[in-house]
Amino acid sequence: MVENKGITLAIVATVFCIAAFIAVILRCYTRLRIVKAFGLDDYFMVAAEFFHLWFTSLVLSGVYYGTGRHMWDLTPENAVTACKVWWLCYLGYCMSMIFAKIAIGLFLLRIAVQKSHISIIWFTIIHSIVAGTVFFFVVIFQCYPVSYYWTSVIPGGKGSCISLHVFTSLGYLYGTVCALGDMIYGILPIFLIWNVDIDRKTKFILVPILGMAAIASCAALVRMAYMNQLLEPDFLWSTVDIAIWSTIEPGLAILASSLATLRPLVKQLSSRFSALKSVNSKDLDSPACNTDPTTKCRRALSFSQQTQTCDQTTTIGIWAEHEPRGRTKMMMGDVESQWSDSQTVAVSKKERAGIGRITVQTDIELMDSATLVGSPTTICAPGTPKVTRI
């Protein structure tokens, strides 16, 4: 029976490909339909997922032709094809990681305010681009001619490649740079969130969510333990562990960073689920629900009910939903928020992921119910509203 470690590689690649693809789809839905703020980071993440899908298809093709099997168990044609596919996998890996790192950095720029934080993020983005680009071109031109990378498995092939020791050292260097960048992306959210005017519980929830991108550094560090396998003569068999962790790294980066954007979706689903569970005997579609703002038709969504007249600047937390139906609704990153009496408050498309504060200056009476996440304060309906970003 032919030994084959490629099956494990194929399973890992398929699982992370499906998980990352679903996460990106949910990310796009959240940004397009819920927060209505599809940004530059989302475009880069979609590009990263495109290259990740290509990379995964190459991994599966490599397994089909011989990755994970001994050279002596393969025909010369399959050995050449498997090595060629491996070379192409380098390119897919580099492109997916470069775009993913850019997307993560741009996501953090949405909520960065201090110049020092912005500078650190841009430095991390640039150094990731430079490191990834250098590795990309070294991989392409490591052999002369380029085709010698895969034809070298056939005796009599003519060409030359850089020393495997040099290439292995470069792999260690690139892995270190990737892990360093991921750690910066993981630690920085602590400083980005800590001075935001939200309660401590919410901070403890947001920091690990925003720092999820650092998880990818674990795969980069683990892969470094197997880099010496590149020196083994039975290449396709010996390097499967490198292939597995190189498959996990981009999948994990895309998955984790996309999950970090899904809080509005989770909030929306949990609110709807809570509303369904706590609905009383009143019909949600009854006239009272549409005409009487004090009706407790959706008790689960209600934080407080109050009648107040105010002439002040009111700070609203990072998330607010006003019910009953037809009333005010403010969500993270909304381009437009509808107020009662058909009045509108425009919110900048550049709301930094909705994390921060929005101030509304008003002088009119409001009787409404609200759900606030953050630091709940007095809510007033707008007369001539003035919205500013703090």
Q: Give residue-wise pLDDT tens across range 201-221.
A: 766 767 776 677 667 778 888
Whether pTM > 0.75 for this model: the answer is no
Euclidean distance between CA atoms 240 and 230, whole angstroms: 10
Residue 308 included in any domain:
yes
Q: Quick one: CA dihedral 22, 48, 319, 321, positive or negative?
A: negative
On whether both 227 and 290 belong to a single domain, the answer is no
On whether both 150 and 16 belong to a single domain, the answer is yes
Residue 266 included in any domain:
no
Checking 72-81 for CB contacts under 8 A at 24+ apart, the result is 73/2, 73/3, 74/236, 76/153, 76/154, 79/153, 79/154, 79/236, 80/150, 80/151, 80/153, 80/154, 81/150
H runs (alpha helix) in the chain: 6-29, 40-65, 76-109, 115-140, 148-151, 164-194, 200-210, 216-224, 235-238, 240-259, 263-278, 287-291
Q: With bands split at pLDDT 50, 70 and 90, how would you rate the model's confidence at 1?
A: low
Domain end, chosen from 218, 233, 261, is at 261
On whether both 252 and 296 belong to a single domain, the answer is no
On whether both 188 and 289 belong to a single domain, the answer is no
Residue 255's contacts (CB-CB under 8 Å, 6 or more residues apart) are 16, 19, 20, 23
Burial label, 38 (beta-carbon count in 10 A; 0-12, 13-18, 19+):
middle
On whether both 287 and 253 belong to a single domain, the answer is no
Q: Give residue-wise pLDDT tens across range 104-159.
A: 999 889 888 889 999 999 999 999 999 999 999 999 999 999 999 999 888 877 88
Euclidean distance between CA atoms 11 and 188, whole angstroms: 34
Euclidean distance between CA atoms 25 and 259, whole angstroms: 11
CATH code for the domain in which residue 198 is found: 1.20.1070
255 with 18: CB under 8 angstroms?
Answer: no
DSSP string over 31-68: IIIIS----HHHHHHHHHHHHHHHHHHHHHHHHHHTTT
Q: Give residue-wise pLDDT tens across range 155-204.
A: 877 889 998 888 888 889 888 888 888 888 888 888 887 766 666 776 67
Per-residue pLDDT, averaged over 241-263, amounts to 91
Number of domains in the chain: 2
Backbone φ and ψ of 66, nearest 5°: 155, -5
Tokens at residue 121, please? 């993020």
Residue 254 included in any domain:
yes
Domain end, chosen from 198, 226, 261, is at 261
218 with 253: CB under 8 angstroms?
Answer: no
Residue 271 included in any domain:
no
On whether both 198 and 238 belong to a single domain, the answer is yes
Evaluate the omega torsion of the peptide bond into residue 324 and state whether it is cis, within 30 degrees of 0.
yes
Q: Which domain holds residue 87?
A: 6-261
Q: Give the CA distances from residue 281 to residues 84, 193, 260, 298, 304, in Å, rounded to whole numbers and listed in that order.
A: 67, 42, 37, 11, 20
1 with 237: CB under 8 angstroms?
Answer: no
Strands 312-316, 319-323: pairing is: unpaired
* Secondary structure string (H, E, C) spanning 184-242: HHHHHHHHHHHCCCCCHHHHHHHHHHHHHHHHHHHHHHHHHCCHHHHHCCCHHHHCHHH
On whether both 36 and 178 belong to a single domain, the answer is yes
On whether both 107 and 26 belong to a single domain, the answer is yes
How many beta carbons lie within 10 A of that of residue 291, not counting itself? 10
Residue 125 included in any domain:
yes
Residue 131 included in any domain:
yes
Residue 267 included in any domain:
no
Q: With bands split at pLDDT 50, 70 and 90, how would you rate the model's confidence at 314?
A: very low
Say which residue the tokens 């002088």 belong to: 363
On whether both 223 and 97 belong to a single domain, the answer is yes
On whether both 42 and 152 belong to a single domain, the answer is yes
Q: Give residue-wise pLDDT tens across range 364-374.
A: 223 233 333 33
Give the end-to-end CA distance of the chain in Å, rounded to a whole number: 67
Residue 1 included in any domain:
no
Domain end, chosen from 261, 291, 320, is at 261
Euclidean distance between CA atoms 55 and 303, whole angstroms: 48
Euclidean distance between CA atoms 64 and 74, whole angstroms: 11
Euclidean distance between CA atoms 211 and 264, whole angstroms: 17
On whether both 326 and 216 belong to a single domain, the answer is no
On whether both 138 and 238 belong to a single domain, the answer is yes
% of the chain at pLDDT higher than 70: 67
Beta-bridge partners for 312: 362
